[in-house]
Structures are given as C-alpha cells and as structure tokens.
Amino acid sequence: MNIQVKRLSYALGAEVTGVDVSKPLSEATIGAIRAAWLEHQVLVFPNAELTPDQQVAFSRNFGDIELNLTKHYRDAASPGVVRITNRVVDGKPSISRNVGRTWHSDSAFACVPPMGSLLYCAALPDVGGDTLFASTYMAYERLSPTLRGIVDRLEVVNDRLAAPELTWIPPEQAARERIEYPPTVQPMVRVHPETGRKGIFCNETVTVRIHGMTVEESRGLLHYLYAHSIRAEFVYRHRWNLGDLVMWDNRCTIHLAPVDYDMNQVRDMYRVTLAGTPTGRVFDSSTE
C-alpha cells in the first residue's frame, strides 16, 4: 500500500489516504499509521466506509479495545462501540446526544484514561456537526519556562460528576456513580508514554481544583490554562464528511463537539476507545 499523509493544520491533524481501513493490514502499514498518529495526534481517514465490526477490527491494530467506562453509553449490539447520536433511541431522546459539549480528553476522571478513540461518521446534518481538537503539547510548549516549571509540579482533582452533561442525573444515580467513579488525582502535565513529550492534562469538563488548594485558589490558574489551551493556533476543526473515520490520541489532545448544527437533523457517530496506561490515583482527602 502507498500511504500518503497530508497535514491539515499547523498544530495537529493529518489526512491519511492510500489505505483501505476496512481490510486486514500488514505490520508495515500499521506501523506507518501509528508513526503518523504519534506525530500528528489526530488522523483523518476519508471515505472509510466501515461497519461497526470493521471499525473495531481496525482499532484493534493499535491496542486493546476498552468498553466505555460509562456503561449506559455502550451499544448493546457491539459493546466495544459507543453510539454518539441525537437519533431517538427506544422512543426516547438518546442519552449520548450531548456528549462532548465542553473541552475534554476522554475519561480524564479515570485512574487509567483511554489511549485514544476512533470516531466514525454515519449520519450528518446539512451543515455543522464538527469536532474540534487542540494539541495539549503545543499548549504546554508555548507557556513561559517559569509557568512550565510551576505546572510541572502540580496535580489536579478530577471528578466525573462535575461534567456538565451529567447535571441531569437524579441524586440516587449520582450517589451510585460517586462510588463507581470516585474523584481522582491526576498530574497537571502529562508525559506522553510513547513520545516523551509533555502536554497540559487538565480540562474544563472534569477538573475541579488543584490538589492541595481550594476551588477559589485554583480558579485563576485553571481558567488561564483552559483559555490558553484552546487558542486558535493550537486547534484543528474537523468538518465531517459521511464515512470519515477520525482517530485521536487522548494523551496529547483535547476535543469538543459544539452544538453548531440544527439538532432536529440527525448526527450519528460510532466511537471505539483504546485502553490506556495509568495516570492517576483515587483522591484521598487525608493526603492534602
């Protein structure tokens, strides 16, 4: 196969052509895709035309598939696939219709967050339905050396229940989820386990404060980092075409799915998640 990789923006993102991702691939091809992924952080495979099973098979080339930590998002027919859709499901609005409305890396509340995700576009509104990605490497590298020295030493407290999309859940469910997904302590700066590069690893969706500080004390620095991390020059905006497959590295990017479209029109996406390596520990108030 003759793979071509074309950059899509300055900070991150590349389009990969010359490979049929619906078919089994050689070790050399998988190696070339992985190298491109580590370099560009987000890869776009146009016209991938995949079934959910083919998406899972392609994803397996890059790691173990993780069943989504949030069990009720899983697709019953293919448990490795999460359906992110605003279609009506079983006569009710889909519970995943508002996934990703604030900047985040996937499951950053978990002690072992996923390595990456592969999102496939099955249905699109007439306009919009885009996904934005930002490079956390570039955000870190553009901080002053003094601030890098400070953030390198800090940790944050992340809490899944702080995510805006979960504000609807009833108190009994929140109590159960608090036990299943307790708050965790994560490094503010993550070292990528394969490239060795550092990236800012806190986000507006689940980070509630700096470990060892109050919410008020944390606010100024966290808000600065959130705003800095999504500066236009660090961002690639993907405008989907039907059949696109996008593969992102969760260890060095954050992403956002804005409501930039008519929610009466269908947007239907299938996501497969790759298991990652440990970053954090369960929060223990006696250690502060």
Which residues in this chain contact ligand SIN in the complex, by CB under 6 A? 84, 99-100, 119, 131, 255, 257, 269, 271
For residue 228 the two structure tokens come to 């800095």
Angle, alpha carbons 275-281-285 (nearest 5°) = 155
Q: Which helix (H) or strand (E) holds 235?
A: strand 235-238
Q: How far is the CB of 119 from ligand SIN (least distance, A)?
A: 6
Residue closer to ligand SIN, measured from CB, 148 or 237: 237
Q: How far is the CB of 84 from ligand SIN (least distance, A)?
A: 5
Q: Which helix (H) or strand (E) holds 89?
A: strand 88-89
Q: How far is the CB of 257 from ligand SIN (least distance, A)?
A: 3
For residue 201 the two structure tokens come to 């690893």
Residue closer to ligand SIN, measured from CB, 29 or 131: 131
Residue closer to ligand SIN, measured from CB, 68 or 218: 68
Q: Is 91 exposed, middle or buried (0-12, 13-18, 19+ CB in 10 A)?
A: exposed
Residue closer to ligand SIN, measured from CB, 143 or 163: 163
Q: How far is the CB of 26 from ligand SIN (least distance, A)?
A: 29
Closest-CA residue to 95 (of 131, 121, 70): 70
Residue closer to ligand SIN, measured from CB, 40 or 255: 255
Residues with Cβ < 8 Å from 206, sequence gap 6 or more? 104, 108, 109, 158, 159, 160, 162, 163
Number of neighbours of residue 161 by Cβ within 10 angstroms: 18
Q: How far is the CB of 126 from ligand SIN (least distance, A)?
A: 17
Which residue number places its CB atom closest to ligand SIN?
A: 100
